[in-house]
Structure 1
Amino acid sequence: MRRKWTAVFLSVVLSVLAGSIISLQATAATSDQAEDQSSEQAMEQEMTEGGADVLAPDSDAGFTGRATIDSTVLVDEKDVKITASNLAYESYQTTIDLLIENNTSQDLSFTSGTMAFCCNTVNGYAISSMYVNEDVTAGMKKNAEVSIRNDELELLGIKDIAEIEMGFRVETEDNDDYLVTAPVKIQTSSAGSVDLTEDTYQKGLSDGSFEHISGGKVEAFQKGSFYSANGINLISAAIVKKDGTDAVLLELENTTDQVLSFHIGDFAINNLVISSPFWDSITLNPHGRAVMAENINNMADAKEYAAFGIGQPEAIAFHATISDSQNNDLTENGQVGISFGDSPAVNQDGAELYNQNGIRILYKGESDDSLYNYLLLIIFNDSSDTIYVSDETGSTSVNGFMVDENTYSRTIEPGQAGGMMYGISKSSLEENQITTADITTATFQLNIGSGSYYNYIDQPKLTVNVK
């Protein structure tokens, strides 16, 4: 099955829009505004208010890299010591020098900014290109270098580095935790001249500098309170297009003193659900912000997008849950909806396979990738209950031969439709000497639950006449 890409650099996501999740955390803006602004900030404000062209070649919208740091001890406990020193600037990256000392009697692994432990920030924004993964032998020291992509800083609106934050996970050779540290801040020489309460990400979306740097076009951008639960607020949403591909950007803030995770699934475009129930998640540091970038082409490729008739994104919806650092759910599955314009009706052309209990299933065509042939289905929920549609393992046959399948389930709210890509294994077809061109009929069973996942109201066996 098609899988989402995770931990992709923001700059890469917006260059080719090929990622599904990026984590960008920023210090949540407080209600108190800084009384003083640097002359540079005041000049920027005057230029914006006066209608100056912020995209001009001599604009100061880019990253400058002027700050320096003093040697700072980040970790010094349990015979482990990590020291940061020196900021160095190149045209495409900024680097931080680290000295890692393992004074224990066992070999240790040091990670930071990885999928398992990501809490590295610049000016409060988590930087996906900033990570550490080093093995240090017992009783030894190791010099390491942490790289930060400058274009990622620019997309976040960061012009100079005022503050860096790093945390570490230290593990034994048996992958047991030896030490997990809280993030430690490094103040730079520019700390007093940068307003860390400013949402520079939103500013870039509003003033055009985001488009200038990314090469994409901001098709829609809204600020507001779209979701609020357990101290997590969804405060802005945007749609960015580049080279015919759309990405949805969701900005969240964590107003609490604890680490929280935000999970989304059943992502819908124009009232059509096209993602799995467990699609993406992101962790927010205390009083931090996070931006999730959802690439629609990771949910459905161009052919599927056209077959489903999705069109230009005008409305999005998804289910959201929040969990704590121990993976305990703090909220029920809540529905979030954001409208950017008039959402077109879901296309209802296609061969009808099922029509009972207020539920209709249409066959829309085929698609494929290197591993699977897909039968494209749209499921309309015209009932009054949430429905849960999944495949029955081992129920699929092609041209009378049993074959393997792999399909994401769909959770569909009343009035919604769901696009399902029913995957048939190409290797299984080959074992039965069936090519894609040979497929004439496919038979499979779907399980339809109402109100809860396993409260089945029907388990229809469906047949698709492919040719």
Structure 2
Amino acid sequence: MKKRTNLLALVLSLTAITFTLFGCGSDTGQKKNIVAPGSGTEASGGEAQNSGDDSTDQASADESISEQVLVDQDGIKITATEYVTDSVWGDGIKLLVENNSAQDYTIGCDALIVNDYMITDLFSADVAAGKKSNEIMYLSSTELKAAGIDTVGKVEMYFHAYDSNWDNLFQNVYSEIETSEFANMDTTPNDEGQELYNANGVRIVGKTVDENSFWGTAILLYIENTSGQNVGINVDNMSINGYMMSPLFSTTVYDGKKAIDDITILSSDLEANGITSVDQVELQFHIYNAESYETIADSDAITFAAQ
């Protein structure tokens, strides 16, 4: 198991580097607004915001927290000790993880939510029996920026712990931290763009198409879930300029929460079909219950343009 957990840590580190350097909605390259076919303008919200706009600041670094116990269960104790800011990794919560049990455990996070936005979790800690470890749960600066979050007021975490056989000691243990800036956090939805889907308590807005993202082309979405259940969303039957694609996209949005996420189209798919400009996109959304995987809805074909 040690090799597997070390591998997990390596994967998480590489993923963190990718998100830090490139993140949701790369700052470089050509971005287009998503519009209704032939309209030339967005159907809702006016001009789509550029998630890479340099006018949007990172979290202010004015935040602080009081020391507080987040989890104290089954011999595992997790204490939030400090709000920290790193010039490379961005803002984070410093955690003291104590394993007072008789068994080694890996502690991780099922979900991380900042100011009601789902944020990618890059936290994993291996703690041997009877030991403790100081860790930092970083809040992806690029994802905070994409969501328009410049002041972190609330951080919600769902923790899990599992052993060397991948058996869970516990999972989805909820904790919430309110920072010193809780009263000042901006809760305005970053939902400017073209509404693509709005049914079954799920709203999806297309914001921008970035033709020069890290992996190829990224279609930036705003997602809001008021369905009463945690939902997962995938993309099916996607085509660009009439050519079928194999998109990389899978996201989970908890009930009452929001997300900013990318549909990624690999450069190799575009090159194989001679596509140099994303003009027309067609896709379907597959929406399902994140716990049972039962289908909530499969949307009709949705067509939009990038200009």
- TM-score (norm. length: structure 2): 0.75
Distance (Å, rounded) in 2 between the aligned partners of 1:239 and 1:148: 24
Q: Distance in 2 between matches of 1:233 and 1:335?
A: 14
What SS does structure 2 have at the residue aligned with 1:168? strand
- Alignment partners' CA distance in 2, 1:268 and 1:16: 25
Match of 2:284 among 308, 312, 319: 319
| 8 Å contact from structure 1 (residues 257, 286) kept in 2 | yes
Rounded to whole Å, the distance in 2 between the matches of 1:90 and 1:332 is 41
- 1:151 Cα deviation from its structure 2 partner: 4.0
- Cα offset for 1:179? 0.2
Taking the aligned partners of 1:243 and 1:106, their CA distance within structure 2 comes to: 43
Does the Cα contact within 8 Å between 1:11 and 1:155 map onto a contact in 2?
no
Partner of 2:260: 291
Distance 1:175 1:65 in 2: 37
SS of the equivalent of 2:22 reads: helix
CA RMSD of aligned residues (A): 3.1
Aligned to 1:101, the other structure's residue is in SS state strand
1:177 alignment partner, one of 146, 152, 168:
168
Partners of 2:290 and 2:57 lie apart in 1 by 36
* Distance in structure 2 (CA, Å) of the matches to 1:336 and 1:81: 48
Partner of 1:15: 26
CA contact (8 A) 2:206 2:219 kept: no
Q: Any idea what SS the aligned residue of 1:83 has?
A: strand
Query: Matched residues in 1 for 2:79 and 2:125: separation?
Result: 14
Q: Identical aligned pairs, as a percentage?
A: 24
Return the alpha-carbon distance in structure 1 between the equivalents of residues 142 and 304 of structure 2: 30
Gaps of 5+ in 2: 1-13, 29-52
Structure 1 distance, partners of 2:72, 2:226, is 29
Q: CA deviation at 1:174?
A: 1.0
CA distance in 2, matches of 1:60, 1:332: 35
Which of the residues 233, 253, 258 maps onto 1:262? 233
Q: Distance in 2 between matches of 1:151 and 1:97?
A: 19
- 1:294-344 CA-to-partner distances (Å, cap 9, x unmatched) read 232356143x141xxx453232222322222334322354333132269xx
Q: CA contact under 8 A between 2:78 and 2:97: conserved in structure 1?
A: yes
Q: For residues 321 and 139 of structure 1, what CA distance do their matches in structure 2 show?
A: 45
Tell me the residue number matched to 1:65.
61
Which has the bigger relative contact order, CA under 8 A and spacing at least 6?
Answer: 2
For 1:189-338, list aligned pairs within 5 A: 189-196=180-187, 198-199=188-189, 201-202=190-191, 222-224=193-195, 226-242=196-212, 246-275=217-246, 279-298=248-267, 300-302=269-271, 304-306=272-274, 310-331=275-296, 333-338=298-303
1:68 shift after superposition: 0.5
Paired with 1:233 and 1:336, the residues of 2 have a C-alpha distance of 16
Q: How does 1:35-46 map to 2 (within 5 A)?
A: none
- Per-residue CA distance 1:339-359 (angstroms, 9 max, x = gap): 2269xxxxxxxxxxxxxxxxx
Amino acid at match of 1:9: F
Matched residue type, 2:115:
N
The separation in 2 between residues aligned to 1:166 and 1:141, in whole angstroms, is: 20
How big is the shift at 1:135?
1.4
**Could you give the per-residue CA deviations for residues 243-283 of structure 1, whole angstroms, max 9, x where no partner exists?**
8953211221111332111111221112322227xx53211
Indicate the residue corresponding to 2:141 in structure 1.
Answer: 150
For the structure 1 residues 134 and 63, does the alpha-carbon distance in structure 2 shift closer, same or farther, using more than 3 Å as the test?
closer
Per the alignment, in what secondary structure is the counterpart of residue 161 of structure 2?
Answer: strand
Secondary structure at the aligned position of 2:205 is classed as: strand
Q: Deviations over 1:81-121 (max 9, x none)?
A: 11112112233322321111222221111112xxxx3x112
Give 1:95-114 correspondences, 5 Å limit: 95-112=92-109
Q: Which of structure 1's runs of 4+ aligned residues deviate more than 6 A?
A: none
Deviation at 1:231, TM superposition (A): 2.0
Cα distance, 1:189 vs structure 2: 0.5
Query: What SS does structure 2 have at the residue aligned with 1:300?
Result: helix
Partner Cα separation in structure 2 for residue 262 and residue 150 of structure 1: 23
Question: What's the offset of the Cα at 1:177?
Answer: 1.1
Displacement after TM superposition at 1:236 (Å) = 3.2
Partner of 2:152: 161
Q: Give yes or no for contact 1:95–1:147 (8 Å, CA) kept in 2.
A: yes
State the AA in 2 paired with 1:107: D
TM-score, structure 1 normalization: 0.51
Distance in 1 of aligned mates of 2:262 and 2:277: 17
Q: Is the 8 A contact 1:237 1:249 kept in 2?
A: yes
Q: 1:11 to 1:165 in 2, by over 3 A?
A: farther
SS of equivalent to 1:184: strand
CA distance in 1, matches of 2:286, 2:56: 40
**1:15 is aligned with what amino acid?**
S
User: Structure 1 residues 336 and 66, CA, compared in 2 at 3 Å: closer, same or farther?
Assistant: farther
**2: CA distance, partners of 1:71 / 1:289:** 27
What amino acid is the match of 1:167?
Y
Q: Determine the structure 2 residue equivalent to 1:442.
A: none
Distance across 2 between alignment mates of 1:297 and 1:71? 44
